[in-house]
Each structure stands twice: as C-alpha cells, then as structure tokens.
Amino acid sequence: MVDAAHRGHRLGLLLKVALLDLVTEAEAGVRHILTENAVGNGPMIAINDALGFRVVDQWATCSLDVPPPTASG
C-alpha cells in the first residue's frame, strides 16, 4: 500500500529489487523465487513482468460478508 502522493515513483520496483538482492546474498543457492499478487494489482504485476517473473498458477478466491450473530442467537 502506497500513499497516493508517492505513487508513480517506482517505490514498488525499488523495494522488490532490494529484497531480491537480500535474498540472493543471504541464500546463494536459491534457484526459484515465488511471488503472489492480486489479479487486480496491475502495477505490481507489471513490476514482476519487468523483473522476469512468469505466471505459473492462478487461484480463485471468494469472500462473503457474514453479519455478526444477534443477541438472540
């Protein structure tokens, strides 16, 4: 989540590259890195595409808002 005033400054890309650098420095034998994104998160999907990640699976998620129980049960 990025404050609207800071969007468009490539913060997501910078953060992701920094984390990838940390992982590969700490674990030199790493051969695969998995990442997940919501289908609607276009900016992060574009970053993953630019970094060479590829889609290997997709998950469908459903949710339902359930009202809290009433005092009568």
Long-range contacts of 6-9 (CB under 8 A, 24+ apart): none
The pTM of the full predicted model, rounded to 2 decimals, is 0.70
Q: 73 CB contacts (<8 Å, ≥6 apart)?
A: none
Task: Give the pLDDT of residue 40.
Answer: 87
Q: How confident is the model at residue 13 (pLDDT cuts 50, 70, 90)?
A: very high
Q: Using one digit for the tens of pLDDT, what is the confidence trace for 27-47?
A: 989 999 999 888 888 989 999
Phi, psi of 3 (to 5 degrees): -55, 140
- pLDDT over threshold 80, residue 15: yes
Query: Measured between alpha carbons, how far is 22 from 1 in angstroms, rounded to an integer?
Result: 21
Instruction: For residue 33, give every residue at least 6 positions away whose Cβ sits within 8 Å of its Cβ, in sequence order, or none.
Output: 20, 23, 53
